[in-house]
Amino acid sequence: MFITLEGIEGSGKSTQLENIVAFLRTRGYECVTSREPGGTPVGAQIRKVLLDPSNAGLDATAELLLYNADRVQHIRSVIQPHLAAGRVVVCDRFFDATMVYQGYARGVDKAMIRALHRLVCDDLQPDLTLLFDLDPHIGLGRAWREIDSGGRTQGESRFEQEKLAFHQAVRDGYLDMARLEPHRFRIIPADQDPQAVARCVEAQLAPVFPERP
């Protein structure tokens, strides 16, 4: 099964990733984790370009194509092989992030984004998407505190430096996609403490992953 984690900056996806894997393993499932961008050695180099704040002038369509280059490499060399081996793949961001960041927030044509995904990414869709929903004011505050404290590098702060309206458009885009695909999305209130968020996540995962003997 393919699980993706989505949400704005500071929504706590990365914090919950380890908890999710631990929960699934205690129930008898073999799991691997990854992220986008940067889930492969090639992708790590693309990530540097995409998240470097010195690249603030990157064209929106060029940005879209870089994300797709990262995703093609990631799908072919990481996601598909692990899924074929019967493992659960838990990924921090995937196609939905491209739709909301480049489509809803940047204004790139959404139909083109979907067509490109079908054309070059084998139209791979997650089985389950956990959307960590959070007010952008809170999320950006969390993200900058982590950057300022050294928990994250300043060299990956290009999106944190976008205006609040951009991040609100991202959040609105995520909620719109969740409305359109309720069978796949599970909305997790991310304005709680990490332990409470983890309990919400486990409550969503438990019916999908019954305990194995």
Per-residue pLDDT of 168-188, as tens digits, reads 999 999 999 999 999 999 999
68-91 per-position pLDDT tens digit: 999 999 999 999 999 999 999 999
Q: Indicate whether 131 pLDDT > 90.
A: yes
Does 158 reside within a domain?
Answer: yes
User: Count of domains in the chain?
Assistant: 1
Helical packing angle, 60-74 and 110-120, nearest 10° = 30
Q: What is the CATH number of the domain that holds 91?
A: 3.40.50.300
Radius of gyration of the chain (CA): 16
Q: Indicate whether 142 pLDDT > 90.
A: no
Does 212 reside within a domain?
Answer: no
36-61 per-position pLDDT tens digit: 999 999 999 999 999 999 999 999 99
Does 213 reside within a domain?
Answer: no
Q: Are 55 and 159 in contact (CB under 8 A)?
A: no
Average pLDDT value over all residues in the chain? 95
Does 210 reside within a domain?
Answer: no
Residue with tokens 């194509």: 65
Boundaries of domain holding 49? 2-205
Does 23 reside within a domain?
Answer: yes
- Confidence band of 213 (pLDDT split at 50, 70, 90): confident
- Confidence band of 154 (pLDDT split at 50, 70, 90): confident
Question: How many angstroms separate the Cα of 169 from the Cα of each of 9, 106, 107, 162?
Answer: 13, 9, 10, 11
Query: Residue 15 forms beta bridges with which residues?
Result: none
Question: How many angstroms separate the Cα of 188 from the Cα of each of 8, 164, 178, 185?
Answer: 12, 21, 11, 10
Does 78 reside within a domain?
Answer: yes
Question: How many angstroms separate the Cα of 103 from the Cα of each of 97, 106, 123, 169?
Answer: 9, 6, 17, 10
Q: Indicate whether 112 pLDDT > 80.
A: yes
Structure tokens at 84: 């074929």
Rounded to two decimals, what is the model's pTM? Answer: 0.94
- Confidence band of 155 (pLDDT split at 50, 70, 90): confident
Residue with tokens 């992030």: 97
Positive or negative, the CA dihedral 109, 111, 112, 117 is positive
